[in-house]
């Protein structure tokens, strides 16, 4: 079974994490996001995958290569300029001659793709859209279906009194290749505003596959942090790398954890990291590879990328710190802060709630 994964977007809402790193490469539990996604596809028998790239393609191509390390066949197609979600699929049309999946490259889910394919075939659908429920449909585009699942309307950000459903597009589709003929070649064209409304207008069968399985997109730093917390707290099924040192504590090889450090799970610590004396790590939290956490530092609910160094007595709370950051002694980084890569924060600094710092080498 084939799939196209869309990984060409700039990920502007996830900045500053996506200045130097494409959204699909941001680490989730110390592995690139896309690696988790490919593993999930493989579980459902999807092992022939086309990546459509545009923004920062090199790190993705270098890391994944031909996919053989993950046991899949990967091909990469780089767009010269962004073609939009549907335009990107049109661009690889010649590789798609049977029913295929399309995924936004920023969704983390355990929707049952095998059952979705069955649903698609039974209904004789031209395009099936995975639908997921949300608490507040008024800030999303919702998808209205009839009792059999056939899509009736797409309603963009309905006002509270016009809400008829809380089902939104989950960014996973099953597509019959013939519908690609409706997408203009070489132009920016999307599924949401372009192809789907066109198919409804033509009266072609478009179905919504409703699922209440776990689903989140990592479009914003808040959701990026939430995904980590959900995975660590066991809200979604996932195995962790490393040795289990205690209740909810996984540590990869080569780490040096001082006997006076205190770890309270769920925590994942990447390989070759050093945790100093009296440092206190309170989960849910992730420490990347090659990190140093100085004496007496306190981390709670934070995600720290690789090669980052914290001095003595640093406090991190429910924040994200990207790679190669140096945080001086006694710094305090409050909730919701997002620190881009390669920064140096001098000793004693206090970053208030929600501070976002751009990476050192950004424009
Ligand atoms: P924002 O800038 O924060 O809106 O993020 P984004 O650029 O990723 O856009 P969005 O979240 O709407 O995109 C959904 C998915 O489609 C993501 O996985 C994107 O990488 C991908 N995508 C968006 N636009 C393009 C494009 O022009 N080409 C390709 N190949 N993929 C795209």
pLDDT digits (tens, 9 = 90+) for 10-61: 999 999 999 999 999 999 999 999 999 999 999 999 999 999 999 999 999 9
Q: Which of 8, 19, 189 has most ligand 1 atoms within 8 Å of CB, for mutation?
A: 8
Q: What CA–CA distance (Å, rounded) separates 180 from 178?
A: 5
Instruction: Compute, in angstroms, the gap from residue 71 CA to the centroid of ligand 1.
Output: 26
- Is 39:45 a contact under the CB 8 Å cutoff? no
Which pair of tokens denotes residue 143?
């998808």
Q: What CA–CA distance (Å, rounded) separates 31 from 101?
A: 23
Is the distance from the beta carbon of residue 128 to the nearest atom of ligand 1 less than 6 Å? no
The residues, any chain, with a CB within 8 Å of residue 79's CB and separated by 6 or more, are 8, 52, 53, 54, 88, 91
User: What pLDDT score was predicted for residue 361?
Assistant: 65
Longest dimension (CA), the chain: 68
Weakly modelled stretches of the chain, pLDDT under 70: 361-363
CA dist list (Å): 331 to 113, 181, 316, 352: 46, 57, 8, 11
Q: Whose CA is nearest to atom 31 of ligand 1?
A: 8
Number of neighbouring beta carbons within 10 Å of residue 282: 17
Is the distance from the beta carbon of residue 187 to the nearest atom of ligand 1 less than 6 Å? no
Is the distance from the beta carbon of residue 88 to the nearest atom of ligand 1 less than 6 Å? yes
Instruction: Compute, in angstroms, the gap from residue 34 CA to the centroid of ligand 1.
Output: 14
Q: Whose CA is nearest to atom 18 of ligand 1?
A: 105
- Is 327:311 a contact under the CB 8 Å cutoff? yes
Of 292, 290, 289, residue with least CA distance to 279: 292
Residue 122: which H helix or E strand, with range?
helix 113-123
Is the distance from the beta carbon of residue 330 to the nearest atom of ligand 1 less than 6 Å? no
Of 292, 290, 252, 253, residue with least CA distance to 276: 292
- Residues belonging to the chain: 363
Instruction: Compute, in angstroms, the gap from residue 140 CA to the centroid of ligand 1.
Output: 16
User: What pLDDT score was predicted for residue 19?
Assistant: 93
Is the distance from the beta carbon of residue 18 to the nearest atom of ligand 1 less than 6 Å? no
Is the distance from the beta carbon of residue 7 to the nearest atom of ligand 1 less than 6 Å? yes
Q: What mean pLDDT value characterizes the chain?
A: 95
Is the distance from the beta carbon of residue 37 to the nearest atom of ligand 1 less than 6 Å? no
Q: What CA–CA distance (Å, rounded) separates 262 from 341?
A: 27
Q: What CA–CA distance (Å, rounded) separates 133 from 116?
A: 16
**Pairing label, strands 280-282, 262-264:** parallel
Q: Please identify which of the residues 42, 90, 126, 157 carries the catalytic annotation.
A: 157
Instruction: Compute, in angstroms, the gap from residue 334 CA to the centroid of ligand 1.
Output: 30
pLDDT tens-digit series, residues 272-316? 999 999 999 999 999 999 999 999 999 999 999 999 999 999 999
**Pairing label, strands 206-210, 127-133:** parallel
The residues, any chain, with a CB within 8 Å of residue 363's CB and separated by 6 or more, are none
Q: State yes or no: is 238 an active-site residue.
A: no
In three-state secondary structure terms, 211 is coil
Residue position matching structure tokens 């640093």: 314
Closest ligand 1 atom to residue 220 Cα is 3
Instruction: Compute, in angstroms, the gap from residue 23 CA to the centroid of ligand 1.
Output: 9
Instruction: Compute, in angstroms, the gap from residue 93 CA to the centroid of ligand 1.
Output: 19
Is the distance from the beta carbon of residue 22 to the nearest atom of ligand 1 less than 6 Å? no
| The CA-based dihedral angle spanning residues 214, 220, 224, 227, taken in that order and rounded to the nearest 10 degrees | -20
């Amino acid at each position: 079974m084939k799939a196209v994964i869309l990984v060409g977007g700039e990920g502007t809402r996830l900045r500053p994490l996506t200045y130097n790193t494409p959204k699909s490469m941001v680490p989730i539990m110390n592995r690139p996001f896309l690696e988790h996604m490919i593993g999930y596809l493989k579980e459902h028998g999807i092992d022939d995958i086309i990546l459509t790239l545009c923004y920062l393609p090199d790190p993705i191509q270098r890391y994944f290569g031909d996919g053989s390390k993950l046991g899949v066949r990967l091909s990469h197609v780089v767009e010269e300029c962004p073609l939009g979600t549907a335009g990107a699929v049109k661009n690889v049309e010649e590789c798609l001659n049977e029913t295929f999946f399309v995924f936004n490259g920023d969704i983390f889910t355990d929707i049952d793709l095998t059952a979705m394919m069955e649903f698609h075939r039974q209904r004789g659908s031209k395009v099936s859209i995975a639908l997921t429920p949300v608490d507040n449909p008024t800030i999303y585009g919702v998808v209205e279906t009839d009792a059999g699942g056939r899509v009736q309307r797409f309603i963009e950000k309905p006002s509270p009194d016009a809400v008829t459903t809380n089902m939104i597009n989950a960014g996973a589709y099953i597509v019959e290749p013939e519908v690609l003929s409706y997408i203009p070649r070489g132009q920016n064209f999307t599924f949401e505003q372009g192809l789907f409304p066109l198919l409804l207008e033509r009266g072609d069968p478009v179905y919504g596959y409703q699922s209440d399985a776990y689903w989140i997109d990592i479009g914003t730093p808040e959701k990026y942090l939430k995904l980590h917390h959900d995975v660590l707290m066991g809200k979604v099924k996932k195995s962790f790398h490393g040795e289990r040192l205690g209740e909810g504590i996984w540590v990869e090889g080569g780490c040096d954890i001082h006997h006076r450090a205190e770890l309270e799970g769920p925590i994942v610590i990447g390989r070759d990291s050093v945790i100093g004396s009296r440092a206190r790590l309170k989960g849910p939290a992730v420490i990347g590879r090659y990190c140093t956490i100085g004496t007496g530092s306190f981390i709670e609910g934070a995600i720290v990328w690789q090669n980052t160094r914290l001095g003595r007595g640093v406090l991190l709370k429910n924040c994200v710190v990207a790679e190669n950051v140096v945080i001086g002694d006694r710094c305090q980084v409050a909730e919701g802060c997002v620190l881009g890569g390669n920064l140096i924060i001098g000793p004693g600094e206090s970053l208030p709630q929600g501070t976002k710092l751009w990476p050192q080498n950004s424009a």
